């Protein structure tokens, strides 16, 4: 029996897919890249933007003919999309040949649901609104041998007015530190050199635990684990980025000097409407602290344009903030209404052409800054973790610097998982190109 998983969305979904794959492998299934060979096809979905949802329905629509040819094929949908209100009814109406629906809180029930489908010859739909406890010890089939995703929290308590995540991922729950540290130790013993600590807001880790432990304290403990070379984390909320955390990163040599600080907007008025709990001035003050502590660090962000009520003056403040901060790169998006969120029903929705035009102006400004920053790296020799062969360029390897810059350079695929020194020869807007300078580290 073979399975195929298509994953949409964030690193949290990627990690969920690794656990889903682990459950299927334990049950005796083998992975296949060819969807036509699969006995079970699962779509692990995202619903942060409408575009992601539409893509899922389009992909599933193409499976109708495959299902007709093979009635024993099980087609399933899981992840954030199906956690939305009335989504099960929408799926059943649009794609009645889908056999399995489960949510973000009951991945551990997958084996039972598959058995029920086979035995009862009946579709299984089971989605929980939330879960009281975190299920530990699920099997996992990791995507990479040299780097790994490690959940430290699930869910979110922030309720930004544009965001669907708290409604589909539930309330914030922290894993106990002993489980996290045990998992990272096992990974390091197995040859993993880089871990990414995952949470919707890693900075608020531990606030719900009976024995209080902060994210700063957790980082210090992870930093002590032998074998690890790099520690990353995603995502940080600016409102919870404390002085204690800055000091902890300063003292932890393995924590990468890359700060992803989603600002979302440069106008305090819009930030208040977004319920971001910080002002423009507070954000800039945090950036100044980080720049002062880590002069060589990279800083990246997320920005939404066209939030309801955004005026040209509000948008100009976003452009001004981008020019002041000078991000290494930015993930930029047009505002996408999500049913069930407060922003979806706000007055003064910004017309699509205006959003599109503002997005282009923002990208033009940011791309120039990104190129300028990358040009300053020309001639420098940087340690790069080799991630394998480049998909776009034959005979080239791809890897990342500590500051999360993507680097392309010629070399042998046998270097995958190693840290090598690369001299930057050709800086570009989104990538750096270079040559290996010395022997492997």
Domains of the chain in start order, with CATH, are 2-126 (3.40.50.12160), 147-375 (3.80.30.20), 381-436 (2.40.50.140)
Q: What percentage of the chain reaches a pLDDT higher than 70?
A: 99
Conformation bin of residue 68: beta by default, left when phi > 0, alpha when psi is -120 to 50? alpha
Interval 91-103 mean pLDDT: 93
What is the reported pLDDT for 441?
47
Interval 307-324 mean pLDDT: 98
Q: How far apart are CA 379 and CA 170, in angstroms?
A: 47
Residue 174 has pLDDT above 50, yes or no: yes
From the list 191, 250, 202, the residue with the least C-alpha distance to 226 is 191
Average per-residue pLDDT in the chain?
Answer: 95
What is the reported pLDDT for 394?
76
Q: How far apart are CA 399 and CA 405, in angstroms?
A: 8
What is the reported pLDDT for 439?
56
Q: Give the pairing type, strands 329-334 and 381-389.
A: unpaired
Q: How far apart are CA 276 and CA 119, in angstroms?
A: 49
Which DSSP string corresponds to 93-130? HH-TT--EEE-TT-GGGHHHHHHHHHHH-S-EEE--S-
Tokens of 203: 């900075």
Conformation bin of residue 288: beta by default, left when phi > 0, alpha when psi is -120 to 50? alpha
pLDDT: which is higher, 84 or 299 = 299
Q: Crossing angle, helix 312-325 and helix 352-375, to 10 degrees?
A: 10
Whether residue 81 contacts residue 57, with contact meaning beta carbons closer than 8 Å, is answered with no
Strand partners, 149: 196
Question: Which of 90-99, 107-116, 126-135, 432-441 is the least confident region?
Answer: 432-441
* Each residue's pLDDT tens digit, 186-225: 999 999 999 999 999 999 999 999 988 999 999 999 999 9
pLDDT: which is higher, 22 or 339 = 22
Q: How far apart are CA 123 and CA 110, in angstroms?
A: 13
Q: How far apart are CA 34 and CA 15, in angstroms?
A: 21
Tokens of 366: 């940011």
Whether residue 110 contacts residue 104, with contact meaning beta carbons closer than 8 Å, is answered with no
Count Cα neighbours of 373 within 13 Å in the Cβ-side half-sphere: 24
* Each residue's pLDDT tens digit, 349-395: 999 999 999 999 999 999 999 999 999 999 999 999 999 999 888 78
* Each residue's pLDDT tens digit, 44-79: 999 888 888 889 999 999 999 999 999 999 999 999
What is the reported pLDDT for 440?
47
What is the reported pLDDT for 1?
94
Residue 151 has pLDDT above 50, yes or no: yes
Measured from the Cβ of residue 395, the count of other Cβ atoms closer than 10 Å reads 10
For tokens 């990468």, name the residue.
Answer: 256
pTM for the complete prediction?
0.92
Interval 30-40 mean pLDDT: 95
What is the reported pLDDT for 129?
85
What is the reported pLDDT for 132?
80
- Cα distances (Å, whole numbers) of residue 132 to 12, 37, 135, 214: 19, 38, 10, 21
């Amino acid at each position: 029996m073979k399975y195929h998983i298509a994953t949409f969305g964030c690193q949290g979904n990627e990690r969920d897919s690794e656990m889903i794959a682990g459950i299927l492998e334990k049950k005796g299934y083998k992975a296949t890249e060819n969807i036509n060979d699969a006995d079970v096809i699962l779509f692990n979905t995202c619903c942060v933007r409408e575009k992601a949802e539409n893509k899922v329905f389009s992909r599933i629509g193409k499976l109708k003919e495959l299902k007709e040819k093979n009635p024993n094929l099980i087609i399933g949908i899981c992840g954030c999309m199906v956690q939305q209100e009335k989504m099960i009814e929408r799926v059943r109406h649009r794609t009645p040949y889908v056999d399995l629906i489960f949510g973000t809180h009951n991945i551990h029930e997958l084996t039972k649901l598959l058995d029920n489908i086979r035995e009862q010859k009946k579709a299984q739909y089971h989605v929980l609104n939330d879960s009281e406890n975190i299920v530990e010890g699920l099997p996992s089939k990791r995507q990479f041998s040299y780097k790994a995703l490690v959940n430290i929290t699930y869910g979110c308590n922030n309720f930004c007015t544009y965001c669907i995540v708290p409604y589909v991922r539930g309330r914030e729950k922290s894993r106990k530190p002993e489980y996290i540290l045990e998992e990272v130790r096992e990974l390091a013993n197995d040859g993993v050199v880089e871990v990414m600590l995952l949470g919707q807001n890693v900075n608020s880790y531990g606030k719900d635990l009976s024995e209080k432990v902060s994210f700063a304290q957790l980082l210090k403990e992870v930093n002590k684990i032998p074998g690890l070379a790099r520690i990353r984390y995603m995502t940080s909320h600016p409102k919870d980025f404390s002085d204690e955390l800055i000091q902890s990163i300063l003292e932890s040599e393995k924590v990468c000097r890359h700060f992803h600080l989603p600002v979302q907007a440069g106008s305090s008025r819009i930030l208040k409407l977004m319920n971001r709990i910080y002002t423009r001035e507070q954000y800039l003050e945090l950036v100044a602290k980080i720049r002062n502590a880590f002069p060589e660090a990279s800083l990246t962000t997320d920005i939404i344009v066209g939030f309801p009520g955004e005026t040209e003056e509000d948008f100009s403040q976003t452009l001004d903030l981008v020019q002041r901060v000078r991000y290494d790169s930015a993930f930029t998006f047009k505002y996408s209404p999500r049913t069930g969120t407060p922003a979806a029903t706000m007055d003064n929705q910004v017309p699509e052409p205006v959003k599109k035009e503002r997005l282009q102006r923002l990208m033009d400004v940011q791309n120039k800054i990104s190129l300028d920053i990358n040009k300053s790296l020309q001639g420098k020799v940087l340690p790069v973790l080799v991630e394998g062969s480049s998909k776009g360029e034959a005979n080239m390897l791809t890897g990342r610097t500590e500051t999360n810059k993507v680097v392309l350079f010629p070399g042998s695929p046998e270097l995958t998982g190693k840290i090598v020194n690369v001299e930057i020869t050709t800086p570009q807007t989104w990538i750096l190109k270079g040559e290996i300078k010395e022997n492997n580290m």
